[in-house]
Chain A
C-alpha cells in the first residue's frame, strides 16, 4: 500500500504568520477556497474579529469579491491552491480591465513530490496561466522567504495597482498529509 505520509513534518511556522502579515498590509477582507496549507490562515481569519473571512465555492468568486472590496475602499486578499487558478482565468479580465489591485496567495500542488497526478496538469502551468492573464508572480521557496515576498507582493498590489500572486512552493509546504 502506498503511504504518502512518510516524510518528517515540514516547517510550517510560516503558516502562523500569514494573517498578521496580511493585516500589516492593511488587508481586512479575506476570500478563500480551502487548501490544507492555508488551514492556519483560514482559521486565524475566521477567528479574528477585525477580519472578514469569506468562504467561496470557487476561486473566481474571490477574484470578484476582491475587486468589489477595492471599489468600496478596503483591501482584500484571496487564498487558494494552484488548481484554483484555472477557475479564475476569465474573471481575471475584471482585474486587468479595471486595473484593480489583486493579492492572491497560491499554495502549490503538482510541482514537487506529488503523489496525485491529477494535481499536475494545473500545478505545472499555474504561474504561466497567471502570467498570461497579467498577474505577476512572487515565489516563496523557504519559510524565510514568505514574509519578505508577501510584503513585496502586497506593496506591488496595493501601492502599485498590480495584480500579484504569492506562490507558496510545494517543497516548502511539504508532502501531502491528510488532516484528520
Chain B
C-alpha cells in the first residue's frame, strides 16, 4: 500500500466539503487547503501555533448547524494538545479535526515530531472523549470520513498518515483582517 500524498488527501476530503467551514493550521496544512482551491469559508492561520483546533471549537459552538472542518499538521496539534481535552469536554457535535501526520515539522526543516517517536494522538483524542478517533491510511479511509463528516455525530478526530514529499507552496492570503471579513461576510455578518 502506498502512503497517501498530502495534496491528494486534502483535495479528496475538501471535494466533499459541501457547506463546511474550514480552519487551517499554519504551514503546509494551509498551503494544502489553498492548493485545493481558495474559498470564502476558509480561515487560514499563518501563526498562533496550537490554536487551529480551538478556533474551530469556537466556530463550531457559534455555528452548530454547519460542519466545521479543522485541517492542521501534527506539530501544530502537538502544541495544542490540551485542546483535545477541551474539545472532549465541550463535545461539539459538528467539529471534525483532521491532523495531517507526516511525523515531522515540515516548515522548519523536517525535524522529527513526537508523533513518530511513540506519541499517539488517536489514543489521546479517544481518551479525551471524542465521539470517534481514527487513523487513516488510505483513500477508502478518507471516503469514510467524508461520508460521516456532515452527520454531526459528535467530535471527530482523524489522523491522516501522509508522506514527507516536498510540495509547491501555494500561499493563501496573509491579510488576517481580509480573511476574517470575507469569512464573516459569507455567513451574513457585516464588519464594523
Residues of A within 8 A of B (CB): 28-29, 31, 52, 54-58, 60-74, 76, 90-91, 93-94, 97-100, 159-161
For chain B, the count of residues having a C-beta within 8 Å of the partner chain is 39
Minimum CB–CB distance from A52 to chain B (whole Å) comes to 5
Minimum CB–CB distance from B43 to chain A (whole Å) comes to 6
Do A69 and B48 touch (CB < 8 A)?
no
Closest to A99 in B: B177
B61 contacts partner chain A, Cβ-Cβ < 8 Å: yes
Do B82 and A69 touch (CB < 8 A)?
no
Closest to A95 in B: B48
Contact residues in A for B166 (Cβ distance below 8 Å):
none
Most buried by A among B45, B58, B86: B58
Do A54 and B61 touch (CB < 8 A)?
yes
Contact residues in B for A29 (Cβ distance below 8 Å):
58, 61-62
27 contacts between A and B (CB under 8 A): A29-B62, A56-B86, A63-B54, A64-B51, A65-B57, A67-B51, A68-B54, A68-B55, A68-B59, A68-B60, A68-B61, A68-B62, A69-B58, A70-B62, A71-B21, A71-B43, A71-B59, A90-B47, A90-B48, A93-B48, A94-B48, A94-B176, A97-B46, A98-B176, A98-B177, A99-B180, A159-B192
B85 contacts partner chain A, Cβ-Cβ < 8 Å: yes
A29 to B48, CA, bound (A): 21
Minimum CB–CB distance from A104 to chain B (whole Å) comes to 14
Give the dominant DSSP class at A's interface: mixed
Do B89 and A69 touch (CB < 8 A)?
no
A99 to B192, CA, bound (A): 11
Do A60 and B50 touch (CB < 8 A)?
yes
Do B59 and A94 touch (CB < 8 A)?
no
Contact residues in A for B184 (Cβ distance below 8 Å):
70-71, 73
Contact residues in A for B52 (Cβ distance below 8 Å):
64
